[in-house]
Amino acid sequence: MHKYLHIRIAAIFILFFIFGRFPIADTSKKLKNEPILPIPFEIDLDAEKVSLGEDLFNDPGLSRNNRMSCAQCHQLARGGDDDLARSITNSGDADTINAPTVFNSVFNFRQTWRGAFKTLEAQAEGDLKNPRHSATNWKALIPYLNTNTGYVNRFTEIYPQGITRETVLNAIATYEKSLITPNSRFDQYLRGDDNILSYNELYGYRLFKYYGCIACHQGVNVGGNVFQKFGLFDNYFKYRGNITKADYGLMNVTGNKKDRFVFKVPALRNIEVTGPYLHDGSTQELKDVIKIMAKFQLGISIPDEHISNIEKFLHTLTGEYKGKSLAPSTK
């Protein structure tokens, strides 16, 4: 039996499971027949809600100490996160886990590393109430918003019910849904441009599939649509040491020991600009992440030349926000 056959078989079953449950982003017959799908160029959203949600997202007044906004940890100019191994909390200390990018979060089947929230609305409320983040509650938040005439007028114009828990969360979530990064070079390839990728980039994609990375990283977001244990073939946490509560992942949500070390598989869109990597922010270089994934998730060692090609492919997943590439050379 081929040494990667078990991985390929798993990939087939996972892909069948996923595409039987989740709608794809682009049904054009011109798309290449690949397990990765292009991000749509736009999503139909209410522009007024998007604008209102953007202001709420960037408003530190929504936090208890009036210093911490959603945008502190999710900076659009930094790939949708903050370039830190672990974000800074409202007390000035390092948080317990790495901040995931907010870009393309609309395509995730769960939000946060441990998959605690099924919707963007639930995730927004979780951060507002999180004692390490905004540390607020609705008894404080609604009165604050009602003291701002601009907010009152805009909410009243958009929502007949005015400022409520539901409308605040809907506005923030609508803005977050707008944060998509289409038109990466790989998406252009998927849409039929056979000359957009170099030989090494395309070879890297073939290796990405050959080694079985595609089993967990596929779909619109190249991940973000399944749970998986971190350490399928070896014990990552024994290797790294100093296990923390955050390392227990999904078990922190379900309380079930079988969910220990299980996480939502991270999306690889814009991975070029979203380091440090992994839930613990322990890895700075993308090539090192590939080595870690090969060892602990695939149980193999990948040659350096192949790692280099896979990394080149991953760079092609960097998209555009509002028509501007997120790639470092164009920041």
How far is Cα of residue 278 from the mean position of the Cα atoms in its chain?
A: 11
As given in the structure block, the two tokens for residue 113 are 């590393």
Confidence at 1, pLDDT banded by 50, 70, 90: very low
**Is 303 within 8 Å of 261 (Cβ atoms)?**
no
Helices 138-146, 149-158: axis angle to 10 degrees equals 100
Average pLDDT, the chain: 92
pLDDT digits (tens, 9 = 90+) for 155-206: 999 999 999 999 999 999 999 999 999 999 999 999 999 999 999 999 999 9
Nearest by Cα to 73 from 60, 59, 63, 88: 88
Element (H, E) at 69: none
Q: Compute how many other C-beta atoms are within 10 angstroms of the C-beta atom of residue 135.
A: 18
pLDDT surpassing 50 at residue 330: no
Before 276, cis peptide (omega within 30)? yes
pLDDT digits (tens, 9 = 90+) for 6-25: 454 454 444 444 444 444 44
Q: What is the pLDDT at residue 116?
A: 96
CA distance 10 to 316: 25
CATH 1.10.760.10 placement within the chain = 5-41+181-330, 47-177
pLDDT surpassing 60 at residue 275: yes
Nearest by Cα to 90 from 55, 63, 71, 113: 63
Q: Provide the 3-class DSSP secondary structure of residue 228.
A: strand
Specify the CATH architecture of the domain 47-177.
Orthogonal Bundle (1.10)
- Region 68-87 average pLDDT: 96
CA distance 101 to 85: 12
How far is Cα of residue 279 from the mean position of the Cα atoms in its chain?
A: 11
Contacts of 113 (CB under 8 A, 6+ apart): 97, 98, 100, 249, 263, 264, 266, 279
Whether CATH 3.40.710.10 fits 5-41+181-330: no
Nearest by Cα to 114 from 255, 236, 235: 255
Phi-psi region of 141 (alpha: psi -120 to 50; beta: other; left: phi over 0): alpha
Q: What is the pLDDT at residue 240?
A: 95
Confidence at 61, pLDDT banded by 50, 70, 90: very high
Q: What is the pLDDT at residue 20?
A: 45
**Is 70 within 8 Å of 172 (Cβ atoms)?**
yes
Q: Which residues of 9-46 are buried (b: 16+ CB within 10 A; e: fewer)?
A: eebeebeeebeeeeeebbeeeebeeebbbbbeeebeee
Contacts of 116 (CB under 8 A, 6+ apart): 110, 123, 126, 252, 253
